């Protein structure tokens, strides 16, 4: 991933140094387990654990000759160990180390993403409570519907990110799986007991039935969970973009001193962060598609997945890390315009009360539902076209004359629409116990 969208902590997980260090952890754990079972000398295992070092430039030099990165890695590390290095990689095939090391990297990356999700959810919960009573117009099909509050909108986002968090956690847990079962998964060279001990030391599960590799349904599910999470953020960012329209103007992205919105038009304050998040979500979906394509490997394995994963897994986790941190900062600094929300609601001429008027005409006005619907629709469309208050037209309609004025007034009572908002906001308590960390949103991201 390009540096612009790479935050330091996540980027460090995917460096060549980190990749080979993860593979070395596997090799050291294998040597220790083999020593416990009397398969290699204890002194050799100790030498591997204490002396083994990764030298990325040397690995690259050797790979230019071997054209095989794992062989180059094993040779380079053996050089640092000395004579005992001959016991390194004993009985292993490349994918034993590659897939198990990759599981360690993905586990570390998932940990960062879950912390990011916690931080974003925390911000959403706080701002949802802050705006629990900030009334705005709800919209369906981009058209005024009925009043809601901005807090309810943000609460929905918090619950969606919480679902995303559970999806990422589940997929990451499934992916935290390694194997040492050899070239075709039959344990021809390493006993299952060795595998079990190594995976326990590394904090991974052992694949119950592998081939030469851990099957790629796990990786596909992980990438899919990341893409779904990106899609959630895209939905939220799209809403911020829509509410930022000049004609709506209910929210604005934070605009810091010195920031420029346009090189030609000094008045511009564009929703650039939201637009960027929407664009990056498209990339996440592309990486998920690549992960799905990796599932159908030939026989006990081929290598067609390898080149894809070298790009897709680092890039997808790095991008989602950036997306979540950026989104949390965006929500934290989001400028909310309650006065504009009120203005837009009143511009609706009371049409949002049409449903309550319909019910009142049936319950208290004595009309059938079809007749009531026709009365309400006729007056509502006339109000919209003539820009006249909907209540005035309904009150003057002879077919609505049987509806008592007090009942008609009650139809337009804003509190009636929002009486259950405290219940909805109160449900945010269900999200909070899942939060395990915070502060990630404060990390610096490029503008």
- Residue 269 has a pLDDT of 84
Sequence-distant (6+) residues with CB within 8 A of 158 are: 121, 124, 125, 128, 428, 431
Could you give the residue numbers annotated as active site?
A: 141, 262
CA separation, residue 340 to residues 137, 191, 374 (Å): 10, 69, 32
Residue 440 has a pLDDT of 40
pLDDT for residue 439 is more than 50: no
pLDDT in tens, 17-32: 999 999 999 999 999 9
pLDDT at 443: 43
Q: What is the CATH number of domain 95-342+427-442?
A: 1.20.200.10
**CATH says 1-90 is which class?**
mainly alpha
330-348 residue pLDDT tens? 999 999 999 999 999 999 9
Rounding to the nearest 10 degrees, give the CA dihedral for residues 224, 228, 229, 232: 170
Selection from 118, 120, 87, 112 nearest residue 18 by Cα? 112
Query: Which whole-number Å values give the CA distances from 234 to 117, 139, 161, 231, 281, in the listed order?
Result: 15, 18, 12, 5, 6
pLDDT of residue 297: 96
Residue 434's pLDDT band, with cuts at 50, 70 and 90, is low
Name residues whose C-beta falls within 8 Å of residue 83's C-beta, 6 or more positions apart in sequence: none
Summarised one tens digit per residue, pLDDT across range 152-180 is 999 999 999 999 999 999 999 999 999 99
The Cα-based distances of 124 to 120, 165, 168, 222, 308 in angstroms read 6, 14, 19, 24, 35
Give 389's Cβ-side CA count (13 Å radius): 7
Higher pLDDT, 434 or 302: 302
Read off the pLDDT band of 432 (50, 70, 90).
Answer: confident
Determine the distance from the C-alpha atom of residue 145 to the mean position of all C-alpha atoms in its chain, rounded to a whole number.
29
Kindly report the average pLDDT of the chain as a whole number. Answer: 94
Q: Is the pLDDT of residue 236 over 50?
A: yes
What pLDDT score does 433 carry? Answer: 67
Examine the pLDDT at 325 and tell me if it is beyond 90: yes
C-alpha distances (whole Å) from 140 to each of 144, 146, 352, 413 are 7, 9, 12, 21
Q: How do residues 98-151 score in pLDDT, each as one tens digit? A: 999 999 999 999 999 999 999 999 999 999 999 999 999 999 999 999 999 999
- Give CA–CA dist 104/109, Å, rounded: 9
Residue 301 has pLDDT above 50, yes or no: yes
**Residue pLDDT, tens place only, 358-381:** 999 999 989 999 999 999 999 999
Q: For the segment 173-192, what is each residue's pLDDT rounded down to a tens digit?
A: 999 999 999 999 999 999 99
Q: In 3D, which of 234, 238, 241 has the Cα closest to residue 323?
A: 234
Q: pLDDT grade, residue 252 (50/70/90)? A: very high
Look at residue 335 and give its three-state secondary structure: strand
Strand 205-206, strand 251-252: pairing: unpaired
Position 446 pLDDT exceeds 60 = no
Alpha-carbon gap, residue 167 to 280, rounded angstroms: 19
How many Å apart are CA 324 and CA 329, to the nearest integer? Answer: 9
């Amino acid at each position: 991933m390009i540096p612009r969208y790479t935050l330091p902590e996540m980027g460090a997980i995917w460096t060549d140094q980190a990749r080979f260090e993860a593979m070395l952890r596997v090799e050291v754990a294998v040597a220790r387990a083999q020593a416990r079972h009397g398969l290699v000398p204890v002194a050799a295992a100790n030498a591997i654990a204490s002396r083994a070092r990764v030298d990325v430039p040397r690995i690259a030099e050797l790979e230019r000759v071997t054209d095989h990165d794992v062989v180059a890695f094993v040779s380079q590390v053996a050089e640092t160990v000395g004579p005992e290095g001959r016991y390194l990689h004993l009985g292993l095939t490349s994918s034993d180390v590659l897939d198990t090391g990759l599981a360690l990297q993905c586990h570390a990356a998932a940990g960062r993403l879950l912390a990011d999700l916690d931080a974003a959810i925390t911000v959403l919960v706080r701002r949802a409570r802050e705006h629990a009573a900030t009334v705005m117009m709800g919209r369906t099909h981009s058209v005024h519907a009925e009043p809601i509050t901005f807090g309810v909108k943000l609460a929905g986002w918090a619950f969606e990110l919480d679902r995303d968090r559970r999806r990422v956690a589940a997929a990451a847990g499934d992916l935290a799986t390694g194997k040492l079962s050899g070239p075709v998964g039959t344990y021809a060279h390493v006993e299952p007991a060795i595998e079990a001990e190594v995976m326990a030391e590394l904090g991974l599960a052992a694949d119950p039935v592998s081939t030469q590799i851990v099957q790629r349904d796990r990786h596909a599910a992980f990438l899919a969970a990341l893409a779904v999470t990106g899609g959630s953020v895209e939905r939220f960012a799209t809403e911020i973009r829509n509410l930022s329209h000049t004609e709506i103007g209910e929210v604005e992205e934070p605009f810091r001193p010195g920031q420029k919105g346009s090189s030609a038009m000094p008045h511009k304050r564009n929703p650039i962060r939201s637009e960027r998040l929407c664009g990056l979500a498209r990339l996440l979906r592309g990486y998920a598609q690549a992960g799905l394509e990796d599932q159908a490997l030939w026989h006990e394995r081929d290598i067609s997945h390898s080149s894809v994963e070298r790009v897709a897994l680092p890039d997808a986790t790095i991008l989602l890390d950036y997306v979540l941190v950026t989104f949390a900062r965006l929500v934290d600094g989001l400028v909310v315009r309650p006065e504009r929300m009120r203005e837009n609601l009143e511009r609706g001429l009371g049409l949002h009360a049409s449903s309550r008027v319909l019910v009142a005409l049936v319950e208290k006005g004595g009309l059938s539902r079809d007749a009531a619907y026709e009365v309400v629709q006729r007056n509502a469309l006339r109000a919209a076209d003539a820009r006249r208050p909907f209540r005035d037209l309904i009150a003057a309609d002879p077919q609505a004359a049987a509806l008592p004025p007090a009942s008609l007034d009650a139809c337009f009572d804003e509190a009636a629409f929002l009486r259950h908002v405290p219940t909805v906001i109160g449900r945010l308590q269900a999200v909070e116990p899942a939060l395990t960390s915070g502060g990630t949103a404060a990390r610096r991201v490029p503008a």
